[in-house]
């Protein structure tokens, strides 16, 4: 078992992972905004007091804040970093209205906001595509070994079988099989297999398995009990890698959606939700394992950031997109009072989630057990 990385490495790794992700996210907003002629007053990485900053020739203040937990672009006409309109845009001087975000058509505002999460997904696709070009892409979905007394053995799966799908989900590679199974411990699934020229169907109940990572942290996962016949990776061209990486990113996003659904429905414990402290710890651990592990995590975090920002929660991009969709249907914007109350509710929900996940993080670090022993 490896020792936990030092605090200094955790902090540096966390900043090196989160900073570029936030930059790409905000750069998406900024570039599409410029494309539509919207002026940007501030481009900030981090919140709070400015550590360093400069003004460009367009009058945009580029700065870095001391709290590296996000960022924002404040466009002309915004009242605050959440892009709330200043009095509905009525107090924007006439000479600035052509470059005001809130005076643009709703479809342009929608695309500007959408560009942030899209930039995170694109970054993940580029990283995964680079891995496929450099190291190769998994291609096999043929079973090589079947573990004794496993779910696969009970379902009658044999070496040489090709796993075509699980519960209707296509599994073109063993990564697809693993990603489907790992988040469904205890669930009964139907597998479609190809054995020679024959198509078979088998039912299996995915086993629950608890594993420990290199640092001794334990995780529950689903286990089918099969391994591929060929673990070699097939190198692909850039033209082939981008579509494959796009599919891989879409499937990873689908996994995240399903995990959130499992937590909401009670199939998974809310204690599995991690917050900033847990993310920082994991980034430090991956950095200590090497650059490839770290960059792989950055790709996953980028998908996470894009997905979370698409949730229809006020203050997040998804909340703004929801209001713009309503505005497009109603042919007029939602009232400022409704938006204000929605933003307050969104802020309260986000703060509550941060507090909850921080408590989870401290619990995973064993803090409460140590306090209990001290008090006892």
Neighbouring-strand partners of residue 47:
67
Q: Six-digit token pair at 185? A: 């411990």
**Residue 10 · residue 284 · CB < 8 Å:** yes
Q: Which residues lie closer than 8 Å to 374 by C-beta, 6 or more apart?
A: none
Q: Six-digit token pair at 146? A: 């079947």
Q: Report the distance separating Cα 251 and Cα 260, nearest Å.
A: 14
Q: Six-digit token pair at 115? A: 């560009």
**Residue 210 · residue 172 · CB < 8 Å:** no
Q: Report the distance separating Cα 28 and Cα 35, nearest Å.
A: 11
Q: Report the distance separating Cα 13 and Cα 283, nearest Å.
A: 6
HSE-CB of 286 using CA atoms within 13 angstroms = 21
Our answer to whether residue 26 is catalytic in this structure is yes
HSE-CB of 261 using CA atoms within 13 angstroms = 8
Polymer length in residues for the chain: 376
> What's the DSSP call for residue 59?
S
From the list 3, 26, 234, 240, the catalytic residue is 26
Q: Report the distance separating Cα 60 and Cα 56, nearest Å.
A: 6
Other CB atoms within 10 Å distance of the CB of residue 90: 10
Other CB atoms within 10 Å distance of the CB of residue 20: 16
Q: Which residues lie closer than 8 Å to 322 by C-beta, 6 or more apart?
A: 312
Tell me which residues are annotated as active site.
26
């Amino acid at each position: 078992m490896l020792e936990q990385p030092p605090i200094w490495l955790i902090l540096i790794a966390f900043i090196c992972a989160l900073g570029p992700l936030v930059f790409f996210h905000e750069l998406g907003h900024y570039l599409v905004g410029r494309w539509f002629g919207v002026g940007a007053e501030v481009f900030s990485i981090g919140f709070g007091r400015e550590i360093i900053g400069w003004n460009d020739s367009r009058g945009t203040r580029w700065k870095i804040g001391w709290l590296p937990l996000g960022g924002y672009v404040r466009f002309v006409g915004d009242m605050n970093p959440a892009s709330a309109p200043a009095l509905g845009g009525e107090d924007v001087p006439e000479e600035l209205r052509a470059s005001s975000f809130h005076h643009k058509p709703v479809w342009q505002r929608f695309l500007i906001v959408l560009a942030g999460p899209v930039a995170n997904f694109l970054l993940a696709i580029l990283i995964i595509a680079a891995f496929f070009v450099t190291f190769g892409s998994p291609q096999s979905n043929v079973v090589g070994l079947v573990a004794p007394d496993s779910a696969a053995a009970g379902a009658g799966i044999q070496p040489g079988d090709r796993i075509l799908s699980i519960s209707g989900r296509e599994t073109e590679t063993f990564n697809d099989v693993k990603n489907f199974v790992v988040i469904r411990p205890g669930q009964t699934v139907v597998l479609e297999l190809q054995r020679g020229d024959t198509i078979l169907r088998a039912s299996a109940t995915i086993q629950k398995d608890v594993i420990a990572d290199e640092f001794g942290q334990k995780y529950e996962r689903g286990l089918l009990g099969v391994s591929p016949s060929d673990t070699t990776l097939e190198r692909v061209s850039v033209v082939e890698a981008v579509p494959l990486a796009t599919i891989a990113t879409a499937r990873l996003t689908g996994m995240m959606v399903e995990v959130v659904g499992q937590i909401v429905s009670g199939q998974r414990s809310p204690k599995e939700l991690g917050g900033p402290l847990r993310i920082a710890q994991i980034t430090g651990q991956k950095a200590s394992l090497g650059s490839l592990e770290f960059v792989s995590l950055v790709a996953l975090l980028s998908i996470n950031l894009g997905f979370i920002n698409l949730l229809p929660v006020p203050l997040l991009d998804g909340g703004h997109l929801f209001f713009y969709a309503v505005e497009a249907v109603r042919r007029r914007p939602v009232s400022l009072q409704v938006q204000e109350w929605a933003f307050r509710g969104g802020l309260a929900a986000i703060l509550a989630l941060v507090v909850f996940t921080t408590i989870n993080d401290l619990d995973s670090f064993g803090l409460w057990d140590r306090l209990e022993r001290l008090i006892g």
